[in-house]
């Protein structure tokens, strides 16, 4: 094994540990990805997670003030672009992401909007419909598009542009994931971070809640229709992730309290088993 391949593997192992630590749901889905794409998807998630921690908790908990958080985020973005250009970083998470980006065609058109949304978290606490959509595009839809680049291009000698139907499905799935997280984390976002992503400052605003849940179901429905056109080694994992968030959306709709909803492990396992067996994605829209 060469020094380069050893370093690459070390970086990718570091990225894999991030998803295992931070998200049991996405870790479960990732295990169902084929080996062609699994490592690169983990690397994308790890970069996104580290950037999110700069603006959403870990940095602040360590005593880093807001202006220094902005500097850290700017430096992290600059190092990401530099690593993608040169193929190396001393930051293992950035290095792993750069390997995925260079092979799969993840460019500045996706990386820049992501960091722009992360930067928004340092300056904006309340969102209207327009700023919500802009934020969701950068924080979630482009992440879905990064993963789609991996699904389509991992292992190719030169990346191809995904089909428009797959692009739309990836965007809508990312948006649904983000809105589900906004709803289930609404109390924590408001009390700990002082943020309102959904215009739900009034906890009794059931009309907004219903509107958001209806939008989630429509987004999940569009995404479900695109999954069948994904490469075969990606479908089970994406179906599982889709099913987990469809179940969260259902539980959010049924909930009458502000308690954070979750999917019990036996239900998660059943969703994964169904995806492995080839069952189609769950459709919440009749």
User: In terms of Cα–Cα distance, which of 104, 117, 118 is closest to 43?
Assistant: 104
- Residue 226 within any structural domain of the chain: yes
- Residue 28 within any structural domain of the chain: yes
pLDDT digits (tens, 9 = 90+) for 177-232: 999 999 999 988 888 888 999 987 655 578 889 999 999 999 999 999 999 999 99
- Residue with the two structure tokens 């839809």: 141
pLDDT of residue 56: 86
State the CATH number of the domain containing residue 27.
1.10.600.10
Characterize 41-79 residue by residue with b for buried, 16 or more Cβ atoms within 10 angstroms of its Cβ, and e for exposed. bbbbbbbbbbbbbbbbeebbeeeeeeeebbeebeebbeb
Residue 231 buriedness (CB in 10 A; 0-12 / 13-18 / 19+): middle
In a 13 Å sphere around the CA of 164, the CA atoms on its Cβ side amount to 0
- Residue 286 within any structural domain of the chain: no
- Residue 150 within any structural domain of the chain: yes
Residues spanned by the domain of 247 = 3-276
pLDDT digits (tens, 9 = 90+) for 225-234: 999 999 999 9
Quote the pTM value.
0.94
**Which residues are CB-contacts of 233 (< 8 A; sequence separation ≥ 6)?**
33, 34, 35, 36, 37
pLDDT of residue 286: 55
Q: Report d(CA 140, CA 146) in Å as an integer.
A: 10
Which two structure tokens, joined as six digits, stand for 209? 């809640």
285 pLDDT exceeds 80?
Answer: no
- Residue with the two structure tokens 């009458």: 256
Helices (H), 156-264: 164-184, 186-188, 206-227, 232-254
How far lies 217's CA from each of 114, 221, 271, in Å?
24, 6, 17
- Residue 283 within any structural domain of the chain: no
The total domain count for the chain is 1
- Residue 281 within any structural domain of the chain: no
Which two structure tokens, joined as six digits, stand for 125? 């606490």
In a 13 Å sphere around the CA of 188, the CA atoms on its Cβ side amount to 10
Query: DSSP assignment of 62-78, as one string?
Result: TT--HHHHHHHHHHHHH
- Residue 282 within any structural domain of the chain: no
Which two structure tokens, joined as six digits, stand for 85? 């250009």
- Residue 242 within any structural domain of the chain: yes
């Amino acid at each position: 094994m060469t020094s380069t391949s050893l370093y690459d593997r070390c970086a990718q192992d570091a990225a894999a540990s991030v998803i295992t630590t931070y998200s049991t749901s996405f870790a479960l889905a990732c295990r169902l990805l084929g080996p062609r794409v699994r490592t690169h998807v983990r690397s994308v998630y790890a970069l996104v997670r580290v950037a999110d921690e700069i603006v959403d908790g870990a940095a602040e908990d360590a005593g880093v003030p807001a202006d220094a958080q902005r500097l850290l985020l700017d430096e992290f973005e600059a190092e990401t672009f530099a690593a993608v250009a040169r193929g190396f970083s001393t930051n293992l998470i950035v290095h792993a992401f750069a390997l995925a980006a260079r092979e799969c065609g993840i460019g500045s058109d996706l990386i820049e909007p992501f960091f722009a949304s992360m930067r928004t978290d340092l300056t904006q606490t309340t969102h209207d419909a327009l700023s919500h959509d802009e934020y969701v595009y950068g924080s979630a839809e482009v992440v879905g598009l990064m993963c789609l680049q991996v699904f389509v291009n991992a292992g190719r000698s030169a990346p191809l542009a995904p089909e428009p139907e797959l692009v739309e499905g990836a965007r809508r799935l990312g948006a649904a994931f983000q809105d589900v997280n906004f709803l289930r984390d609404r109390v924590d976002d408001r009390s700990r971070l002082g943020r309102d992503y959904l215009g739900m400052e009034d906890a009794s605003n059931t009309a907004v809640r219903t509107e958001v849940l209806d939008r989630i179901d429509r987004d999940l429905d569009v995404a479900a229709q695109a999954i069948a056109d994904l490469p075969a080694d990606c479908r089970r994992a994406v179906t599982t992730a889709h099913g987990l968030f469809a179940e969260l959306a259902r539980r959010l709709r049924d909930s009458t309290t502000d308690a954070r909803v979750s999917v019990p492990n036996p239900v998660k396992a059943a969703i994964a088993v169904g995806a492995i067996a080839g069952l189609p994605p769950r459709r919440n829209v009749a």
